Amino acid sequence: MMSSENRSQFSVSCSSVSEKARAKINLALHVTGQRPDGYHLLDMLVTFADHGDRLDFMRSPADAFTLSGRFGEVLAGDGGTNLVLKARDLLRGAIGPLAFPVRIHLEKNLPVASGIGGGSADAAATLRGLMRLWGTTLSAETLAALALRLGADVPMCLESRPLIARGIGEKIEPVPDLPGFAMVLANPLKGVSTPEVFRRLATKNNPALSLTPSRPQAADWLAAIAAARNDLEPPARDLVPEIAAIAAMLQAHGALLTRMSGSGATCFGMFASMAAAVDAAAALHGARSDWYFQATETVSGGA
């Protein structure tokens, strides 16, 4: 029996809802230490792209999960290891008997395990979408704890807006002054081992992230981001030489700044306009149609 306190958390449910799972872009990633349990301490400037996966949730006689999209086949057959299903089950455990069966469809448009938070964004979108479908709200603290159980990136993806994340990613501070940027995401579709990238770090106690743009304008933020770094990029380039090649391709097609996101292998190029980004992505796709190139625009902090 649900208590009156828990029952008050529920509102009218929907028959179907949709959620976008935006790509998570690490504009900067500084490794500042390591905890005794092995987790690395990070300072990250994070933003989110308009491009991403899409999830549809609908009431169903029984739980079901289907896939489509360019990268859907990569996830086919992974069963309970999928973060979408883990998020569904975790949230259902927190909500109880009013969490009726659902059919979830994931349109997988983002490369898998590519440093842009695809799985984490999907898990976060699942939490958001199912709360709407099931007509429930949870406290911010409860929801953050659920998200963190799914992975260190999931609390950030729940926000899906510009932020600075510290610790292992759980200490989040919004960045309302960060503007949107025209961008091309680029990935050679070659896997890179995150544990191996961290193992190859030359030092794990690097200077912290310090961002002090003189004015909250795009050019000032671009300069501040250029002065930062991704400490995981050098070891990732050693493991996957294509990362250096794809960054050079972005630069050759007019990117103002290029950097790897997360632990790779996705790189991003920042462009002066969306038209320039679209042109660059088309040209790059023409040169290497077997790789992933996507023009997009990131959300602004004030969105």
Whether 63 is catalytic: no
Dist. CA 118–CA 109, nearest whole Å: 9
Q: At what angle do helices 140-150 and 83-95 cross, to 10 degrees?
A: 150
Instruction: Identify the active-site residue in 43, 53, 122, 153.
Output: 153
Q: Count how many residues are written for the chain.
A: 303
CB of 263 within 8 A of CB of 279? no
Question: For residue 81, what is the DSSP state?
Answer: G
Q: Which residue has the tokens 């659920």?
A: 146
DSSP element (H, E) containing 275: helix 274-287
CA end-to-end distance (rounded Å), the chain: 41
Counting Cβ atoms within 10 Å, is residue 35 exposed (0-12), middle (13-18) or buried (19+)?
Answer: exposed
The tokens for 33 are 């230490």
Beta strands in 35-74 (DSSP E): 40-59, 64-68
Instruction: Identify the active-site residue in 24, 43, 53, 231.
Output: 24
Q: Which residue has the tokens 């509102």?
A: 11
Q: Which residue has the tokens 């992505």?
A: 281
Q: Where are the alpha helices (DSSP H) in 152-241?
A: 154-159, 194-199, 218-227, 233-239
Whether 153 is catalytic: yes
CB of 259 within 8 A of CB of 27? yes
> Residues with catalytic annotation?
24, 153
